[in-house]
Structure 1
């Protein structure tokens, strides 16, 4: 059986690295990407390519290299993403734009780059790593929620547009997992004079505490493998702690105002 070729954005650390290592152990040919190869001189878990999801030229170069090396590209895992927190009123617009560039525009660039090859093959799978946060507007994470929610909806549209090409596209929404995302997340400064100081400060601490006690990202990697082995991928997959997934069920069945009160109580706002 021919080994499948997988390309993972944001593959040098966190969830992306975990997915890459796990798939490599299962016999896949894995290429991961990173914005700066020089920061990973001893990386040998799998192939690592230079790629910035905000730069279409680097995307085209990396995709072409994979196809030249392997003759095909079977799976794209759109994993690269950035976190962002803060009161929307006080979050600098350039940071909002940057989050959307990475979390929404980046995956679109990647999809546009791989679809011609997958159409040519009449086969391919694209897994967009979104977030459980993308199913609800969370206080002080509204920009992050919106960017991940946008990718969820883009996936729904793309599935219908590409259904005749043998290409499958799906979303995988993780909850909180133990990665270094908190270290790389943009935090709007907590200003002493801010009208949001106390609630934002408390919410930020709660967010970071959740990440510190979160699950091992291997659970996401195992779900990716399950999706790859699924003959017909569903539109949405979720992986995370039971209460995080249960919150999505509550959002479906509760009146909006009641669900909002649950969130306010959860964040003690």
Structure 2
């Protein structure tokens, strides 16, 4: 795909999305970054910010229409906006689960549906959906987050089958823990159950340690840019822990993988 591509990155006000937008701009792309609140999106050279809330149909439609009005086309959509949550499945209210799915899955659906008519008309495009290693390797006390990322994995593969007839491809990027506010400030389920306290606390400490020692967003952002502009692959995994974990899940028996995960989290 040409380096002069018109690129839309959702959730570009901070973290992985912001760094990816910056790299796209450095590669010569015309970049539009979306943010729920433009007042919280500091200016970034080469990036035009558009206010968009992926949870709101009208907001997504208006945001994409404003980009088309300015750039006349969209070549790449990066669905990066998302949220995380920690809590046992039993502790998670249906309203909390619905909010997580509304952002991580339905938000991706809204932006994809808004962009596809233009990509179909121009007979080309690339849709990059940011998943997670938890989309293939679920962890305890992150069940609902893992469920959203499993949904993203399935949606993306089905989407790719459907749109390749129009010269459009969908692809997945699967990061592990990254040192960003998304991981560091992940909310907890609002109704904790005491029986889960011991294990949940162990997992929370493990997550905090993993985030604290994790690399910053640069590697994941680089992987996103290559997934968008380089040769198509269904799954693109940043080097390091994410690559190791996805290979373990694919090639090792389930028992040793399960035991290794529990040991890493301090669970017996």
Q: TM-score range by the shorter chain?
A: over 0.9
Deviation of 1:250 (Å): 2.1
Question: Is 1:258 aligned with 2:259?
Answer: no
Task: Quote the residue 1:108 is aligned against.
Answer: 109
Task: Quote the residue 2:177 is aligned against.
Answer: 176
Asked if the contact 2:105/2:151 (under 8 Å) is kept, the reply is yes
Measured in 1, the distance between the counterparts of 2:251 and 2:40 equals 47
Deviation of 1:22 (Å): 1.2
Measured in 2, the distance between the counterparts of 1:57 and 1:182 equals 28
**Aligned pairs, number:** 265
Structure 2 SS opposite 1:90? coil
Structure 1 residue ranges, 4+ long, deviating more than 3 angstroms after superposition = none
Structure 1 SS opposite 2:53? coil
Measured in 2, the distance between the counterparts of 1:15 and 1:159 equals 23
Task: Quote the residue 2:202 is aligned against.
Answer: 202
**Which residues in structure 2 correspond to 1:24-63 (within 5 Å)?**
24-40=25-41, 42-45=42-45, 46-63=47-64
Q: RMSD in angstroms over aligned alpha carbons?
A: 1.7
Task: Quote the residue 1:159 is aligned against.
Answer: 160
Measured in 2, the distance between the counterparts of 1:118 and 1:245 equals 31
Structure 2 SS opposite 1:268? coil
Deviation of 1:57 (Å): 0.6
Asked if the contact 1:175/1:240 (under 8 Å) is kept, the reply is no
Task: Quote the residue 2:235 is aligned against.
Answer: 236
C-alpha deviations, 1:19-62, integer Å up to 9, x for none?
A: 0111112211111111112333x524421111111111111111
Change (3 A) 1:117 1:102: same
Task: Quote the residue 2:70 is aligned against.
Answer: 69
Deviation of 1:183 (Å): 4.8
Which stretch has the larger CA shift, 214-223 or 8-17? 214-223
Task: Quote the residue 1:214 is aligned against.
Answer: 214
Measured in 1, the distance between the counterparts of 2:3 and 2:83 equals 34
Question: Is 1:125 aligned with 2:123?
Answer: no
Question: Gapped runs of 5+ residues in structure 1?
Answer: none
Deviation of 1:257 (Å): 3.0
